[in-house]
Amino acid sequence: MVVPAPDLPARIRIHEVGARDGLQNEKSTVPTAVKAEFVRRLADAGLTTIEATSFVHPKWVPQLADAEELFPLVSGLPVALPVLVPNARGLDRALALGARRVAVFASATESFAKANLNRTVDESLAVFEPVVRRAKDEGAHVRGYVSMCFGDPWEGSVPLHQVVRVCAALRDMGCDELSLGDTIGVATPGHVLELLSSLNEQAVPTNVIGVHFHDTYGQALANTLAALQHGVTVVDASAGGLGGCPFAKSATGNLATEDLVWMLQGLGIDTGVDLGRLVATSVWMADQLGRPSPSRTVRALGRTPQPHKEQ
């Protein structure tokens, strides 16, 4: 049953991260053809922004070492296909293949900046500055991720001012959009609202902010609803709840796209996603990976025949 709630956006754009955030964390490497099929099925299910891969160092993330092979297999799809670039070398690789959307990824904490990028926070911002400038000069859309916005496995809770500083720096560089990462899934709704208000006070408007929740403590949907109530309209999610981060112990799966779509449909919020096709895609992907999806919605709906399966 659809029952709208007051003061929520009419439409949400889902930034699908399963093929990148999900698969970067798999123990085994998924074959390139399976990744390409996953992206195609996600597009077929109505997702319009599908993060495809990362142009990071292949030794750091071997699961995504096939970025050069994968990207051309999916680049003709009529969807936005952002890719992660950690530095100038990553941007060169992405632009050479015609990528039109790139994402740099910063950290609000020193410990994760070191673990994830082998740099201090300021060193990594200095690396990103010319990357963002060149990407903008080339006409690309640039997203700036900020990880560890709420808590950090080494440093504990993260002061708001640290997060705001990094967000403001990425905006000043020219990032079109920010994504606030709860990398280890410790956020709760009041904390989310407090961070969003702090960002607004420091001239970071809500309309450039996306949210990226992991579901470690089962709070991802509650945190998302709080963000929507604040006016956020871009939500990151991962089909089937795949995901984590190989460089952050205790990071578990992302908010499952199906769980998000179920809630948004119930609220009457348009996403353009066909939930049946999406569930069928995650059931198919779970078969490829050899284990069931952790998404409650995939488990609930995955047993009933889906239109996609019948074709």
Told to check if 21 binds Mg ion by CB under 5 A, we report yes
* Contact partner, 147, from ligand HMG, Mg ion, none, Cβ < 5-8 Å per class: ligand HMG
Helix (H) or strand (E) segment spanning residue 157: strand 156-157
Q: Which one-letter DSSP state was computed for residue 208? A: G
Report the distance separating Cα 101 and Cα 311, nearest Å: 32
Told to check if 175 binds ligand HMG by CB under 6 A, we report no
Told to check if 217 binds ligand HMG by CB under 6 A, we report no
Q: Of these, 38, 55, 71, 284, which contacts ligand HMG (CB under 6 A)?
A: 55
Tell me the closest approach of the beta carbon of residue 100 to ligand HMG, in angstroms.
18
* Contact partner, 133, from ligand HMG, Mg ion, none, Cβ < 5-8 Å per class: none
* Contact partner, 262, from Mg ion, ligand HMG, none, Cβ < 5-8 Å per class: none
Q: Which of 149, 167, 175, 245 is catalytic?
A: 245
* Of 264, 283, 272, 246, nearest in space to 59 by CA: 246
Active site residue 245: yes
Give whichever of 59 and 291 is closer to ligand HMG, judged by the CB atom. Answer: 59
* Contact partner, 217, from Mg ion, ligand HMG, none, Cβ < 5-8 Å per class: none
Give whichever of 38 and 145 is closer to ligand HMG, judged by the CB atom. Answer: 145
Q: Of these, 49, 63, 147, 162, which contacts ligand HMG (CB under 6 A)?
A: 147
Positive or negative: CA dihedral 59, 60, 62, 67: negative
Told to check if 183 binds ligand HMG by CB under 6 A, we report yes
Q: Of these, 18, 181, 185, 302, which contacts ligand HMG (CB under 6 A)?
A: 181
Helix (H) or strand (E) segment spanning residue 190: helix 189-201
Told to check if 241 binds ligand HMG by CB under 6 A, we report no
User: Which residues contact residue 4 at a Cβ distance below 8 angstroms, ignoring those fewer than 6 apart?
Assistant: 267, 268, 269
Q: Considering CB under 5 A, how many residues would be counted as binding Mg ion? A: 1
Angle at 224 between CA 191 and CA 63, to 5 degrees: 105
- The residue with tokens 């995650």 is 282
Give one word for 191, left, alpha or beta, with left for phi > 0 and alpha for psi -120 to 50: alpha
* Of 126, 107, 108, nearest in space to 117 by CA: 107
Q: Of these, 81, 106, 108, 117, which contacts ligand HMG (CB under 6 A)?
A: 117
Positive or negative: CA dihedral 223, 52, 267, 284: negative
Report the distance separating Cα 181 and Cα 160, nearest Å: 13
Told to check if 61 binds ligand HMG by CB under 6 A, we report yes
Give residues in contact with Mg ion (CB under 5 A).
Answer: 21
Annotated catalytic residues are 245
Which residues form the interface with ligand HMG (CB under 6 A)? 21, 24, 54-57, 60-61, 84, 86-87, 89-90, 93, 105, 116-118, 145, 147, 181, 183, 212, 245, 247
